[in-house]
Amino acid sequence: MTYNKKSIEDINPQGKRVLVRCDFNVPQDENGNITSEKRIVASLPTIKYLLSKGARVILCSHLGRPKGEINPKYSLKPVAECLSKHLGIGVKMAEDVIGSSAKAIAGSLKDGEAMLLENVRFHKEEEKNDPEFARELASLAELYVNDAFGAAHRAHASTAGVAAYLPAVCGYLIQKEISIMGEALNNPKRPFVAILGGAKVSDKLGVINNLLEKVDALIIGGGMAYTFVKAQGGKIGNSLCEEDKLDYARDMIKKAADKGVKLLISSDAVVADKFSADAEKKVTDVGEIPDGWMGLDIGPETVSTFTEAVRGAGTVVWNGPMGVFEFERFAEGTKAIAAAIAESDAISIIGGGDSASAVKKLGFEGRITHISTGGGASLEFLEGLELPGIACLEDK
Ligand code: AMP
């Protein structure tokens, strides 16, 4: 998918009411305190730019899963306080989304002022992308900016529906995601190496299929590798396996060969006698895992093959851990891949989720070209699917 969308720099927001969809879905403790401000901080460049241009900024987001009902537990009030602190201006908090409070505050905003609407998911119409709800939401503003990449794969009212009623452009976060990931997929610096891991083949069917059209080498590690090993006749003991995906794995192995894509599947494994942090462990050939044992990490030979491939890459895309990295003793493989990517000169892109946390936890964040802000959205992007929250924006 190639996107060439207008951004906030292509519009004149001076004096205009601008509805900005952000991803303020922040983690909170049991008292409602925000435990990581990362998503709020990430949204600041777009908000500050709009304020500096004299826009009247109307922010909106979802938070958690209130299932279409008003629930104070999922109120965005703490986010408004956090935003006020970072922006140095009072961000006015509405008591509703499209009700009298939202309308009154939106109507009284002055140039360079900002407000935050309540959680859009307090309305069940949000996730249904109800056109009437989208129209009401849009009626608060004169322009729409989407900057919530993490929600861009969802066709909801605030992420896509409103674009039918307002001129719609992207903010800096979405602009960065689509330019870096779009360039990697469509015009990569070669060799282009993709690394996939994690538990399930079935989550990544489309991704594997699409990446085989694009990459020079595809690396498969983590739990999903065992389905590929078994598909080739290996003995995988009690390791994860999706029996109904064995044919698919064989098809992908054939596709890689037909396309001349180098397919690297783990060759050895760190196996455990139970699924536990303190399990007995040993290293075996990946196709000779004894019954009663399961592969929970890639072995040393695999680490060396995979890191070698990363070292020679021009572009690396990584999604999914190489093992059960939550258990310290089975985290070596994931750490080694993270380190190899951080040390390489390649353009490096990490999908959201577990691989992103691993990279951050190890302190490699600053040495990665791009860590996507959306797990699900980045996977769908790599799959070549159209993201409704981006497709709805105006083309340049
Ligand atoms: P995913 O959400 O598909 O990216 O999978 C992430 C999860 O896969 C993590 O929680 C890992 O613990 C798990 N995982 C990775 N490798 C293995 C493995 N060999 N066996 C079981 N689970 C694994």
Fold matches, 8-173 and 180-382: yes
- In this predicted structure, the answer to whether residue 32 has a pLDDT above a threshold of 80 is yes
Looking at residue 285, its pLDDT comes to 98
Kindly give the pairing relationship between strand 288-289 and strand 294-298. Answer: unpaired
A 10 A CB-CB count for 386 gives 12
Average pLDDT, the chain: 96
Average pLDDT (230-254) is 97
pLDDT, tens digit, for every residue of 214-233?
999 999 999 999 999 999 99
pTM, full prediction:
0.91
What CA–CA distance (Å, rounded) separates 17 from 20?
10
Tell me, what's the pLDDT at 249?
97
Domain locations in the chain as residue ranges: 8-173, 180-382
Q: Which residues pair with 115 in a beta bridge?
A: 58, 92
Q: How confident is the model at residue 357 (pLDDT cuts 50, 70, 90)?
A: confident
**The domain 8-173: what is its CATH number?**
3.40.50.1260
| 178's tokens | 């689509």
Structure tokens at 28: 């909170």
pLDDT at residue 1 is higher than 80: no
For residue 2, the model assigns a pLDDT of: 80
Task: Give the active site residue among 128, 135, 200, 367.
Answer: 200
Residue 169 bridge partners (DSSP): 145
Q: Whose CA is nearest to atom 6 of ligand 1?
A: 198
Burial pattern 7-44, b for ≥16 Cβ within 10 A else e, equals bbeebebeebbbbbbbbbbbebeeeeebeebebbebbe
Chain segment 272-322, per-residue pLDDT in tens: 999 999 999 999 999 999 999 999 999 999 999 999 999 999 999 999 999
Strands (DSSP E) contained in 68-152 are 92-93, 114-116, 143-146
Gap between the Cα atoms of 50 and 169, Å rounded = 12
Distance from the alpha carbon of residue 324 to the mean position of ligand 1, in angstroms: 5
Residues with CB under 6 A from ligand 1: 198-200, 203, 222-223, 240, 295-296, 320-321, 323-324, 326, 353-354
Q: Are 177 and 149 in contact (CB under 8 A)?
A: yes
Element (H, E) at 217: strand 217-220
Q: Which two tokens stand for residue 333?
A: 């493989």
Residues paired with 281 in a beta bridge: 272
Distance CA 137, CA 18 (A): 11
Q: What is the model's pLDDT at position 275? A: 98
Please give the full DSSP string across 150-187, using - where no structure is assigned.
GGTTS--TTTTGGGGTS-EEE-HHHHHHHHHHHHHHHS
Give the pLDDT confidence score for residue 197 in this predicted structure. Answer: 96
Q: Which residues pair with 317 in a beta bridge?
A: 194, 349
Give me the pLDDT at residue 29, please: 94
What is the pLDDT averaged over residues 5-21?
98
* Tens digit of each residue's pLDDT (9 = 90 or more) over 135-182: 999 999 999 999 999 999 999 999 999 999 999 999 999 999 999 999
Give me the pLDDT at residue 361, please.
86
The protein residue whose alpha carbon is closest to atom 17 in ligand 1 is 223
For atom 18 of ligand 1, the residue with the nearest CA is 223
Domain 180-382 class in CATH: alpha beta
Is residue 353 flagged as an active site residue? yes
Q: What does residue 160 show for φ and ψ, rounded to 5 degrees? A: -145, -45
- DSSP 8-state assignment for residue 297: E
Residue 79: what pLDDT? 98
Residue 126 near residue 133, CB atoms below 8 Å? yes
All residues at 6 or more sequence positions from 125 whose CB lies less than 8 Å from its CB, including other chains: 68, 132, 133, 134, 157
Query: Which distant-in-sequence residues (6+ apart) come within 8 Å of 308 by Cβ?
Result: none
Q: Which residues pair with 272 in a beta bridge?
A: 281, 294
